[in-house]
Chain A
Amino acid sequence: MTSKTGVPLLFEISSPGRRGYRLPELDVPEVPVDELIPTEYLRQQEAELPEVSELEVVRHFTQLSRLNHGVDVDFYPLGSCTMKYNPRVNEDMASLPGFTAIHPYQPEETVQGALELMYNLGTYLAELSGLHSATLQPAAGAHGELTGLWIIKAYHEANGEGHRNEIIVPDSAHGTNPASAMMANYKVVEVPSDERGGVDVAALRKLVGPKTAGLMLTNPNTLGLFDENICAIAEIVHEAGGLLYYDGANANALMGIVKPGHTGFDVVHYNLHKTFSTPHGGGGPGSGPIVVSEQLAPFLPWPVVAKEDGRYVLKRPEKSIGRVKSFYGHFSVLVRAYAYIRSHGAEGLRQVSEAAVVNANYLMHHLKSLYHLPYDRHCKHEFVLSGKLQKEQHGVRTLDIAKRLLDYGVHAPTIYFPLNVDEALMIEPTETETKETLDAFIAAMRRIAEEAENDPESLKSAPHYTPVRRLDEARAARQPILRWKKE
């Protein structure tokens, strides 16, 4: 039962001998186990799995689901995460047995439909990015970044420029950018932002040099602002012999409007779980295909799908960096993204970006009188407010504002990011929300601004109406309890 003590763990309702799923009777003649496997290789200590009925499992996870917020439940303006509606027909399509019940090593002749889908999806992403060829293998955005950096590294090495060991990232970059650069064994060099929120071009000029391997950038950046100096930035990096990597987390702003490849980027990753509406699933699986320029195509991970005499085949690019994961990528996520693109077409995708940008600007315009807006210019698909007025005047922090929003039934924006804005609130409404939802959010933010003035204490103790109240994170980290244990 759900009660004030919450949903019990399945282990806590386990009852010896109770069974859920049953296998068919074993229909082959049995041989004593020790004739097949020596006893010393067999398990002595039992795994304490729960013993519960099927209905108990169904109720348990149904009850848990009801403690959770999702796009299906209500507004989810989490900046840089593009929490748009996940079309249900795409779920149905990804569940077709012709897509779920296929083995990655089946003969190519028996998976022509799957290969065709992957080939075409790669082509669509190449068209959107303005670049040459794609790999669908990376499992997530961060994995795409790592793949892109490995490719950049292999390219420099092939040109006898393996000494290039620095990757430049802006101070507003996603945390994955420097972490990915570290994983690829690069030194991270940070470039500051200018007063308009873009890359400080003069500072960049001083940072590039013979050690520069590349620059990682998202455009629009994490402030939701289009970097107008992108051409100058690309020129500076290219002239220094470096390459440009496009973090596609914010691609929902520019589909059919700007192709990153045309602004000087050499490698682009897309987050299919953001821009192309594949569900986030509580944190994954994502999918982070990358598209590269022609000069980088020989370095792509293998296998890639090629088309030869009307057949689809798996090939190894000439100078492939190798494999970034098992098999070919998150195939069933690719199916959903493919279906999304096919549902929209060129015009539809452009309308998606336009509506996303209108919605973001609408919110920004109506919230800037209530909260500090550090960069007051038209944004793209998202924008960043600062809670610094509330903090300075009423001692209310951005965390309190975020927690109070939960009481209004809305998921909080991304908070304390980007790092170059004090008390940041990063808001991305997406194109799939109605004007009424946006108006309700503005009203909630207005009430919270008023509460900060009149009743700051209630904000500091928020949320009040959620399944649990504020949780003690220090306690969780000091004495970590990471699992249930049998007493």
Chain B
Amino acid sequence: MSEKRMLFTKDHEWVLVEGTIARIGITEYAQNELGDVVFVDLPTVGDTVEEGEGFAVVESVKAVSDVYAPVGGTVVKVNEELESSPELINESPFDQGWIAEIEIAEGTQLDDLMNAEEYKAFIKEA
């Protein structure tokens, strides 16, 4: 589990950066708030996304949640497993339930993101 190396947003997305690629998903806390995830509207490979832009949608039975891009860039890979098994987001939010990978745009700063400890403190307050 690479949770310790992950960075987090206030909207409960996580990012795992490997070189110029950022893998993105939603957190354990977020999946728990949503309940049974029934559908994930994935972005299209090749889409350009701005930081903070809603680039995917996660749906439970009675709620919809936008997933905001923690970093800007180009979508290079999406988790197609989620098309047939959206419940992976509930079962394994940090691992098998990843949503997409973005090639990070040049000059992107990751300073606004929280580390695991800061995020833990953040959700405690919420």
User: Do A and B touch (CB < 8 Å)?
Assistant: yes
Within the complex, the shortest CB–CB distance from A78 to chain B, in Å, comes to 17
Most buried by A among B38, B59, B86, B87: B38
Residue from B35, B36, B39 having most chain A Cβ neighbours under 10 A: B36
Within 8 A of B (CB), among A429-487: 473-474, 477-478
Q: Mark B57-91, 1 if CB is under 8 A from A, else 0.
A: 00111100000000000000000000000110000
Q: How large is the interface on B (under 10, 10 to 19, 20 to 34, 35 or more residues)?
A: 10 to 19
Write out the residue numbers on chain B whose beta carbons fall within 8 Å of the beta carbon of A416: 62
**Nearest B residue to A477, CB-CB:** B38
Binary A-proximity of B32-70 (CB < 8 A = 1, otherwise 0): 000110110000000000000000000111100000000
Nearest CB on B from A164, distance (A): 27
**Closest chain B residue, CB of each to CB of A416:** B62
Give bound CA distance, A288 to B36, whole Å.
36
A397 to chain B, nearest CB (A): 12
Number of residues from A at the complex interface, CB < 8 A: 5
Tell me which residues across on chain A come within 8 A of B35, comparing CB atoms.
474
Contact with B along A31-56 (1 / 0, CB 8 A): 00000000000000000000000000
> In the assembled complex, which residues on chain A have CB atoms less than 8 Å from the CB atom of B39?
477-478
Q: Which of A119-148 contact B (CB under 8 A)?
A: none
Given the complex of chains A and B, what is the CA–CA distance between A359 and B32 in angstroms? 40
Complex Cα spacing A416 to B35, Å: 15
* B87 CB → nearest A CB, Å: 7
How far apart sit A473 and B60, CA to CA, in the bound complex (Å)?
A: 10
Q: Least Cβ distance of B54 to chain A in Å?
A: 16
Q: What are the 8 A-B residue pairs with the smallest beta carbon separation, nearest first?
A: A477-B38, A474-B36, A473-B61, A478-B38, A474-B61, A474-B38, A477-B61, A478-B86
In the complex, 17 of the A-B residue pairs with CB atoms within 8 angstroms, ordered by the A residue number, are A416-B62, A473-B61, A473-B62, A474-B35, A474-B36, A474-B38, A474-B60, A474-B61, A474-B87, A477-B38, A477-B39, A477-B59, A477-B61, A478-B38, A478-B39, A478-B86, A478-B87
9 further contact pairs, Cβ within 8 A, besides A477-B39, A478-B38? A473-B61, A474-B35, A474-B38, A474-B61, A477-B38, A477-B59, A478-B39, A478-B86, A478-B87
A→B interface (CB under 8 Å): 416, 473-474, 477-478
Report B's interface with A, CB cutoff 8 A.
35-36, 38-39, 59-62, 86-87
